[in-house]
Amino acid sequence: MSEQRDKQSPEQSEQGREEPTQQQQAESSSGGAKAAEKRAPEAQAQATGEPIVVRARARYVRRTPRKVRLVIDHVRGKPVEEARALLRNTPRAAARDVLKLLDSAVANAESRHELTPGELRIARIWADEGPTIKRWRPRAFGRATRIDKRTSHITVELEPIVSGR
């Protein structure tokens, strides 16, 4: 079969091809959506008018949401450098988890949008309740009481600092 194709003349091989439709020609010449997909993420965000938001999430953190919220309330809305300094000097154990998450979000911003920590602020940060691990503790007279070990899902969103904010 391949021998028959080789023996065909150029005119015969072109006759078997279909002409592209007008829509296909328009898409191939303009680049359309494909060109938008190839742009850098910050160029896409600027082109669509959406602000750049960098997100990081830590799930199933073995700290109670209430204790985590006490820490994150101190850094909400602050520039990243100031928040890092606060978290490094906070004696609560949850501060280590929040600092680690903040560092992860900054790394995401550096790799995806080429933003430095000095250009970022914490737009939103929150702690939701994760699943509760249930354990039992023996008590007097053959009884047992339940021990709830709570977990948290912590989310942080960073945005570039805009002059005037």
Would you say residue 56 lies in a domain? yes
pLDDT tens digits along 55-110: 999 999 999 999 999 999 999 999 999 999 999 999 999 999 999 999 999 999 99
Domain at 112, CATH number: 3.90.470.10
Would you say residue 39 lies in a domain? no
pTM of the model: 0.69
Residue 37 pLDDT: 46
Would you say residue 77 lies in a domain? yes
Task: Give dist(CA 155, CA 65) in Å, integer.
Answer: 12
Buried b (16+ CB within 10 A) or exposed e, 112-130: ebebebeebbbbebebeeb
E-assigned strands of the chain?
A: 54-61, 120-129, 133-138, 144-149, 152-160
Decide if pLDDT at 11 tops 80.
no
Residue 75 sits in which domain range? 51-134+146-165
Residue 34 pLDDT: 47
Cα 80 → chain centroid:
17
Structural domains counted in the chain: 1
